[in-house]
């Protein structure tokens, strides 16, 4: 380049453009080197004063300098923009390697698992589910079940009274009387799972609140064979084909004859061990043939109708089923206990 001044302008401009870091710097450079008040612009107006033989070269060199500065500005601007975009993208990236938040799923209380399973078994045999109140009257809890006021059988169940005639039910058996009242003499085949309350000291095998499944069948020609077959099928479905049951004679005021039902011990298979206290059997429920007085009091002719009833402790079954060592574990909601019953699917 012949013109020293143009060369100096170009060198300085290129150097400064290279130093520009922000878009504002670029605008400033554009003004400074290509604007109306730039050195280049003022040199351009001098072209008229030059001798004709120099005009052409000067004009060409001027254009060349202008183009080169403009190109450098464009290039630098593109670089600054690219850098800004890159920084923005970097700021906005999501770190997919971060671990997510875990939602821990709860587990069903084994009490409810067993309650549902027991209910299913009886539904499969044609039973329907009936319901009754947990706050019960003396009438349904005792009187209509052949337990009059002075009956010694009340002792065992002397319990949470609200007033003289109202109490927390001590068993699910009042639902027997309630169902008979509703059925008005028609045949009955119901179960009733529900909570019951007794003034027991709470320890590993007792709780002031526990649950039973009541069963009641009333029809013509029902005999104790039906009771035995029903409970045998229940025991095998609940505890396995190999389990045997045994009926022992017992006493309840509302059944006659009354039985207590044992199943062969799962631990020793009937030989006798610690768990069954050497007997080979474990008691699971009480039952019997509905007492004629109960049938009569609740509107059924004992000469025509007969029936059987039973009451199974739900926790008792769950304890045997899972080998749980303390009844209180059902009620404490300790997740370390509950999570052992998580469904593995």
Measured in whole angstroms, how far is the alpha carbon of residue 129 from the centre of its chain? 25
Measured between alpha carbons, how far is 211 from 253 in angstroms, rounded to an integer?
A: 20
- Minimum distance from residue 215 beta carbon to ligand PHE (Å): 7
Positions in 155-174 near ligand PHE (CB under 6 A)? 171, 173
Positions in 219-258 near ligand PHE (CB under 6 A)? 252, 255
Taking CB atoms, the residue at the shortest distance from ligand PHE is: 311
Kindly tell me which of 9 and 231 has the beta carbon lying closer to ligand PHE.
231
Q: Taking Cα atoms as reference points, which of 168, 230, 153, 241 lies closest to residue 198? A: 168
- Minimum distance from residue 311 beta carbon to ligand PHE (Å): 3
Among 122, 142, 281, 310, binds ligand PHE (CB under 6 A): 310
Kindly tell me which of 55 and 248 has the beta carbon lying closer to ligand PHE.
248
- Minimum distance from residue 261 beta carbon to ligand PHE (Å): 10
For residue 216, what are the β-bridge partners? 190, 309
- For residue 66, the number of C-alpha atoms closer than 13 Å in the C-beta half-sphere is 16
- Minimum distance from residue 253 beta carbon to ligand PHE (Å): 9
- Minimum distance from residue 155 beta carbon to ligand PHE (Å): 13
Positions in 253-292 near ligand PHE (CB under 6 A)? 255, 286-288
Kindly tell me which of 115 and 171 has the beta carbon lying closer to ligand PHE.
171
- Please identify, among the stretches 129-137, 306-314, 315-323, 326-334, the one whose residues bind ligand PHE according to the rule CB under 6 A: 306-314
- Minimum distance from residue 103 beta carbon to ligand PHE (Å): 41
Number of residues forming the site for ligand PHE (CB under 6 A): 10
Q: Taking Cα atoms as reference points, which of 177, 199, 198, 196 lies closest to residue 188? A: 177
Q: Which residue has the tokens 């059902």?
A: 330
- Minimum distance from residue 170 beta carbon to ligand PHE (Å): 7
- Please identify, among the stretches 66-74, 146-154, 232-240, 307-315, the one whose residues bind ligand PHE according to the rule CB under 6 A: 307-315
Measured between alpha carbons, how far is 144 from 142 in angstroms, rounded to an integer?
A: 6
Kindly tell me which of 270 and 311 has the beta carbon lying closer to ligand PHE.
311
- Minimum distance from residue 171 beta carbon to ligand PHE (Å): 3
Number of H helices, E strands in the chain: 12, 10
Q: Taking Cα atoms as reference points, which of 29, 12, 8 lies closest to residue 20? A: 29
Residue 33 interacting with ligand PHE (CB under 6 A): no
What's 109-177 look like in SS3?
CHHHHHHHHHHHHHHHCCCEECCCCCEEEHHHHCHHHCCCCCCCHHHHHCCCEEECCEEECCCCCHHHH
DSSP assignment of 254-314: TEEEEEEEEEE-TTTTTS--TTTTTSSEEEEEEEEEEPHHHHHHTT--TTT-EEEEEEEEH
Contact indicator for 29, 17 with CB cutoff of 8 Å = yes
Residues in touch with ligand PHE (CB under 6 A): 171, 173, 252, 255, 286-288, 309-311
């Amino acid at each position: 380049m012949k013109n020293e001044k143009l060369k100096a302008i170009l060198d300085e401009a290129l150097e400064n453009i290279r130093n520009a870091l922000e878009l504002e710097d670029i605008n400033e450079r554009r003004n400074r080197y290509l604007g109306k008040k730039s050195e280049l612009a003022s040199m351009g107006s001098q072209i008229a004063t030059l001798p004709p033989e120099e005009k052409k070269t000067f004009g060409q060199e001027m254009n060349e300098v202008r183009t080169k500065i403009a190109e450098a500005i464009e290039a630098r601007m593109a670089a600054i923009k690219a850098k800004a975009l890159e920084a923005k993208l970097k700021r906005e990236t999501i770190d997919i390697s971060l671990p997510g938040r875990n939602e821990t799923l709860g587990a069903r209380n084994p009490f409810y698992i067993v309650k549902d399973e027991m209910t299913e078994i009886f539904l499969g045999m044609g039973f329907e589910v009936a319901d009754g109140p947990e706050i019960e009257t003396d009438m349904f809890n005792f009187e209509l079940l052949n337990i009059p006021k002075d009956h010694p059988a009340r002792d065992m169940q002397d319990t949470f009274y609200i007033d003289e005639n109202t109490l927390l039910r001590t068993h699910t058996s009042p639902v027997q009387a309630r169902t008979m009242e509703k059925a008005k003499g028609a045949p009955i085949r119901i179960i009733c799972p529900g909570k019951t309350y007794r003034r027991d000291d709470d320890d590993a095998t007792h709780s002031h609140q526990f649950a039973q499944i009541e069963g009641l069948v009333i029809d013509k020609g029902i005999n104790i064979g039906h009771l035995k077959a029903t409970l045998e099928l229940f025991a095998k479905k609940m505890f396995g084909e190999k389990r045997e049951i045994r009926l022992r004679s017992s006493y309840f005021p509302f059944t006659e004859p009354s039985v207590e039902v044992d199943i062969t011990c799962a631990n020793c298979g009937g030989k006798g061990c610690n768990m069954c206290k050497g007997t080979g059997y474990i008691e699971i429920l009480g039952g019997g043939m509905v007492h004629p007085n109960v049938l009569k009091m609740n509107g059924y002719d004992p000469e025509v109708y007969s029936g059987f009833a039973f009451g199974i402790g739900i926790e008792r079954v769950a304890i045997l089923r899972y080998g749980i060592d303390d009844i209180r574990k059902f009620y404490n909601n300790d997740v370390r206990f509950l999570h052992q019953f998580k469904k593995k699917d």
